[in-house]
């Protein structure tokens, strides 16, 4: 997905990664605007954000996980797969705001499931995987940390 200089590679996968990254970044801003001003904007923004996150997670599962050592790859797979669950919850929660319907997912459920799965199912495994990859990339064969 990335070229040697850290930019997105000039490939279809690189373009998809760049596009999903832009959708994710803009989606966060649009969600905030929607929460403040319009349930319709919020629901549309959450749908776009969810699509961006799912697209990026799919790219990571397809291109990154198979290319890294087993333990970091497994941790990245756990992290990205957890996103599908948490983003489904976010989409269900946001859809309730559209018609002032009774919520499919309540605030306490969002705190319990969306928040905790993002913390322990996404962030923790992703950080551990990146730390393992960082250590493996910087350690030389004579380094005792290797």
Give residue-wise pLDDT tens across range 118-130: 999 999 999 999 9
Question: Could you tell me which of 110, 27, 24 has the C-alpha nearest to residue 60?
Answer: 24
Question: Could you tell me which of 54, 72, 89, 84 has the C-alpha nearest to residue 125?
Answer: 72
Q: What pLDDT was estimated at residue 78?
A: 96
Tell me how far the alpha carbon of residue 75 is from its chain's centroid.
Answer: 13
- Mean pLDDT (whole number) for 65-82: 95
More confident residue, 102 or 137: 102
Q: What pLDDT was estimated at residue 4?
A: 59
Question: Residue 142 falls within a domain, yes or no?
Answer: no
Question: Residue 2 falls within a domain, yes or no?
Answer: no
Q: What pLDDT was estimated at residue 2?
A: 57
Q: Can you give the residue range of the structural domain that contains 45?
A: 12-137
Give the total number of structural domains in the chain. 1
Handedness of CA 17, 20, 25, 26 (dihedral sign): positive
Q: What pLDDT was estimated at residue 143?
A: 44
Question: Residue 59 falls within a domain, yes or no?
Answer: yes
140 falls in which pLDDT band (50, 70, 90)? very low
100 falls in which pLDDT band (50, 70, 90)? low
33 falls in which pLDDT band (50, 70, 90)? very high
Question: Which residues is 135 bridged to in the sheet?
Answer: none
Question: Residue 145 falls within a domain, yes or no?
Answer: no
**3-state DSSP call for residue 2?**
strand
- Mean pLDDT (whole number) for 18-39: 87
For residue 137, pLDDT over 70 is answered with no
For residue 53, pLDDT over 60 is answered with yes
Q: What pLDDT was estimated at residue 139?
A: 45
Mean pLDDT for the chain? 84
Question: Residue 94 falls within a domain, yes or no?
Answer: yes
- Predicted model pTM: 0.77
Question: Residue 81 falls within a domain, yes or no?
Answer: yes
């Amino acid at each position: 997905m990335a070229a040697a200089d850290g930019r997105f590679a000039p490939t279809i996968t690189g373009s998809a990664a760049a596009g999903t990254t832009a959708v994710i970044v803009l989606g966060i801003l649009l969600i905030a605007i929607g929460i403040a001003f319009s349930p319709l904007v919020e629901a549309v923004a959450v749908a776009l954000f969810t699509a961006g996150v799912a697209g990026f997670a799919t790219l990571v599962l397809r291109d990154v996980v198979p290319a890294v050592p087993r333990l970091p790859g497994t941790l990245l797979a756990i992290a990205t797969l957890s996103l599908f669950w948490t983003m489904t919850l976010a989409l269900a929660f946001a859809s309730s705001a559209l018609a002032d319907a009774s919520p499919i997912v309540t605030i306490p459920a969002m705190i319990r499931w969306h928040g905790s799965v993002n913390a322990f199912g996404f962030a923790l495994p992703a950080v551990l995987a990146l730390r393992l990859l960082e250590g493996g990339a910087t350690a030389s064969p004579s380094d005792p940390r290797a």
